Structure 1
C-alpha cells in the first residue's frame, strides 16, 4: 500500500486553497508551469509525482522541529517526575537557550 505523502504546513495550505476552486486535474496541469503566487510557491518544491500522490492518496502535515520538541517536552513533563525525564526537559530548554531559539510552551 502506498503511504500518504508528508508535506509541510504551507504546502498543505496551498493544496487546500487550490482545491476550493480547482479539480485535481487542473492543479496537476497548472503545476507543470510552476506556481507564481507567493502562497502557492511552496508547491514548487514538490515534483509532479509527489503532488499527484498527495492529491490522490492524501497527505499528512509534517511537524516542524519546534513542534516535535514541544511534543517531547510535554510528554516528558506530563506527570513524570523521575530523573531521566527531568534531564531531558532541562536539556531541551538549555539547547534552545544556547541556540537562541524560542519555542512557545517551552521557553517563551
Structure 2
C-alpha cells in the first residue's frame, strides 16, 4: 500500500482550519467542505479560498504539514552545516549575506 501524502498548507490556512474545528465553532469536516464548495471564506478564514477543494479534503482527512517560512528554511539550511572549517566558511557567507540584506534570523545572525 502506498504512503499517504499529507498536503503542505500555509500557516494561515492551518490556523483557519484549527479555528473552525475548535474555539466554540466545532465545524465538522463535512461542514467545512460543504461551505468551501458552495461559499466564499471571509475574515480569518479567507486563506482557505486559495486551496483547491481536493487539497482541503486531503488536509482534513490525512492531516497536513505547515509550509516553512523563508526564515525557517534559511535557519534549517544554516544548521545543516556541521562544524568543519569549510562549513564554518559557508555559515559565515550566509550571515554576511543576511547582514548585507538587513535581515535578522534568530539562530543564524540574531
Structures share fold, TM-score greater than 0.5 = yes
Instruction: Establish whether residue 86 from structure 1 lines up as the match of residue 88 from structure 2.
Output: yes
Match of 1:70 among 63, 67, 75: 75
- Give the structure 1 partner of residue 29 of structure 2: 24
Larger mean CA deviation between 47-56 and 63-72 belongs to 63-72
- Give the structure 2 partner of residue 100 of structure 1: 102
- Give the structure 2 partner of residue 55 of structure 1: 60
Give the superposed CA RMSD. 1.5
Q: For residues 8 and 23 of structure 1, what CA distance do their matches in structure 2 show?
A: 21
Listed as ranges, the gaps of 5+ residues in structure 2 are none
Listed as ranges, the gaps of 5+ residues in structure 1 are none
The TM-score, its normalising length taken from structure 2, stands at: 0.83
Cα distance per residue 1:7-32 (max 9 Å; x no partner) = 11111111111112100010011113
- The offset of 1:89, in angstroms, is 0.7
Larger mean CA deviation between 2-11 and 45-54 belongs to 2-11
Instruction: Establish whether residue 12 from structure 1 lines up as the match of residue 18 from structure 2.
Output: no
- The offset of 1:107, in angstroms, is 2.2
- The offset of 1:104, in angstroms, is 1.7
Q: For residues 94 and 42 of structure 1, what CA distance do their matches in structure 2 show?
A: 35
Count of residue correspondences: 104
